[in-house]
Amino acid sequence: MVYNLVVYNGKKVYDAPRNLWNLFTDPVKAKQFLAEDYPLVNLQAMSNDEIRLKQHLGMLEYMLKHIHQPDMINLWRNFLKIFKRAILVDKEKGFIYLTCFLW
């Protein structure tokens, strides 16, 4: 349970909305968005082919999916093979994405 509590100690009279939803520019949409089921990216239910199609985002998802694999050398070998095209695109930009990913 999350309980919202505001403690105000300013010199001016507190005049901000007291309703959490009214703090958003679109209170109806905010309430709907935050009250519905949260989105789930279930990597275990996704095939490596589905993940590969996401290219750079897929790189992160692939590593998260297989992070508990004991053979890290094989994991990286497969990673470099599966994402070869995305890595070549990144190479043209100076490996910006891959560098951040490894960092």
The two structure tokens encoding residue 28? 């109806």
Residue at 54 is within a domain: yes
Question: Consecutive sets of 10 residues in the chain, 103 residues long: mean pLDDT of each?
Answer: 88 92 92 88 95 90 93 92 88 83 75
Is 17 inside a domain boundary?
no
Q: Which of 47, 81, 73 is nearest to 61 (CA)?
A: 47
In a domain, 82, yes or no: yes
Residue 39: its pLDDT value, please? 87
Instruction: Report yes or no on 13 lying in a domain.
Output: no
Domain membership flag for residue 65: yes
Q: Give a yes or no: residue 24 inside a domain.
A: no
Q: Model-level pTM? A: 0.63
As for how many domains the chain has, the answer is 1
What's the pLDDT score for residue 73?
94
Q: Which domain range does residue 65 map to?
A: 43-102
Q: Is 38 exposed, middle or buried (0-12, 13-18, 19+ CB in 10 A)?
A: exposed
Q: Is residue 92 part of a domain?
A: yes
Structural domain contains residue 47? yes
